[in-house]
Structure 1
Amino acid sequence: MKIQAPTKSYSFASIAALIIGAGAYGIGLFNADMALNEKGYYLAIILYGLFSMVSLQKTIRDKLEGFATSKIYYTLAWVSSGFAIALLTIGLINADLLLSEKGFFAMAYVLSLFAAVSVQKNVRDRQAFSAETNPAPELIEQPVQ
């Protein structure tokens, strides 16, 4: 399989999307008129969501590349990602926020999750490309003497 390194513009756009999405979510959370424990809930949900999506992307990529991946971890990554999105959805449905605020938090959340997956993919692609073009010295075949 030929690995192609991600372009700099795509890598930059992915990082910018992650910063913009997570930053907007954080600024919105900081400025929201809600109790501190509710803000903590939404902060924990985005951190959980980011981690679960990166873990899911890594697990899927490992499986595609032939690395040993346990079925339980693969399933757990999918379930965890689903729970993260469901917890935000349930929280926003029950929140005492304007509909526009709910939409803002949902869009910033989805942008952040997508960008985290994209950044993780770029990191993996760049590492695979680097390993393919510059193999470790111990992996280069030495002539038999």
Structure 2
Amino acid sequence: MNASLQPQRPTGAFVGASWAALLVGAITFLVGLWNAAMPLNEKGYYFTILMYGLFSAVSLQKSVRDRLEGIPVTGLYFGLCWVSLTLAVLLLAVGLWNATLAASEKGFYAMSFLLALFGAVAVQKNVRDLAHFKDDAGFADGQNGN
């Protein structure tokens, strides 16, 4: 790892807030879909966009972090991560723009989607940071880290 980029241990409050953002955003989005008066195929579209968005956001965060730590990430994969996240957001925007929903419902889905993406990125960062400190503690105690 680059010596100038030492991660700091995330606080319990930040870890909790990150998990809360992920869970509140995703669960709110899903409850909204469950209760929505839309065809099942439309619900499936929005569900797939949520899952795709969460995966692409975490993958992009991991790729950025890997590069910062000197772990090789190909330019192709890094670019695909950006394209995937952009596509997920654009697909949601196009779907909501063309949906026959009230403006408040469209805003509800957009905001819960973005909250879930933020939460997923923050949780991934915390998991990575905490794993770094766990590994360091294991080696400091004379353990082999396995």
Among candidates 124, 129, 144, match of residue 128 of structure 2: 124
**Is the contact made by 1:25 and 1:108 (CA closer than 8 Å) also made in structure 2?**
yes
Task: Name structure 2 gaps, 5 residues minimum.
Answer: none
Mapped pair 1:76 → 2:80? yes
Of residues 59, 65, 70 in structure 1, which corresponds to 2:63? Answer: 59
Distance, in Å, in 1 between the alignment partners of 2:16 and 2:91 is: 30
- TM-score by length of structure 2 reads 0.91
Identity %: 51
- 1:143 alignment counterpart: none
Return the offset for 1:51.
0.2
Q: CA deviation at 1:137?
A: 4.2
CA distance in 1, matches of 2:23, 2:143: 37
Residue range with higher mean Cα deviation, 72-81 or 127-136: 127-136
One-letter amino acid of the counterpart of residue 51, structure 1: F
Provide runs of 4+ in structure 1 moved above 6 Å: none
User: How many Å apart are 1:138 and its aligned residue?
Assistant: 5.2
Match of 1:32 among 21, 31, 36: 36
2: CA distance, partners of 1:82 / 1:138: 41
**Do structure 1's residue 110 and structure 2's residue 130 form an aligned pair?**
no
**What TM-score, normalized by structure 1, do the two folds share?**
0.91
Between Structure 1 and Structure 2, whose CA radius of gyration is higher? 1
- Count of aligned pairs: 139
Shift of 1:10: 0.6
- Contact kept in structure 2, 1:54 and 1:117, CA below 8 Å: yes
**Cα deviation 1:45-74 (Å, max 9, x = unaligned):** 000000000000000000000001111000
Which one of the candidate residues 74, 89, 94 is aligned to 1:85?
89
Deviation at 1:9, TM superposition (A): 1.0
- Write the letter of the residue equivalent to 1:10: F
